[in-house]
Amino acid sequence: MRTEEAKYLEDYDSIERDFEMFTRQGNKRCQAITRKAIKKIFGDKRITKDELATFIGKEMKKVAVKFSEIHDTEPPYHIELYIKEACEIANYSFELDDVRCFR
């Protein structure tokens, strides 16, 4: 992991993020999904847009069992925001530009 990537992940982990879920536990689950995705983006093996969207979608389905609001408008939007930032830092040429790709 490059220094810039490590700094982004450290900054991301240093504060609790608000994904506009109904509960603190729901927010923590969204932050965990996003953290896992960021680590995949910064990993040694490159990931495709479809692989990343599939991964996030599967993780969201797991969370939706207990926190159905994860499929509302705002939580996927916030996940997408942090993913876009990570993709830019890792020099990916794609963007997950539609939160519906996670559903």
Res 101 pLDDT > 60: yes
| 76 CB-contact burial (10 Å; exposed 0-12 / middle 13-18 / buried 19+) | buried
Express each pLDDT in 37-93 by its tens digit. 999 999 999 999 989 999 999 999 999 999 999 999 899 999 999 999 999 999 998
Q: What is the pLDDT of residue 14?
A: 84
- From 97, 84, 102, select the one nearest 8 (Cα to Cα): 84
Domain that holds residue 37: 3-102
CB 55 within 8 A of CB 37: yes
* pTM recorded for the entire structure: 0.89
CB neighbourhood size of 9 (10 A): 18
Tally the domains of the chain.
1
- From 30, 16, 36, select the one nearest 78 (Cα to Cα): 30
Which DSSP helix (H) or strand (E) runs through 31? Answer: helix 24-41
CB 34 within 8 A of CB 79: yes
Res 98 pLDDT > 70: no
Q: What is the pLDDT of residue 100?
A: 58
DSSP, residue by residue, 33-76: HHHHHHHHHTSSS---HHHHHHHHHHHHHHHHTT-GGGGSSHHH
Res 36 pLDDT > 90: yes
Q: What is the pLDDT of residue 92?
A: 92
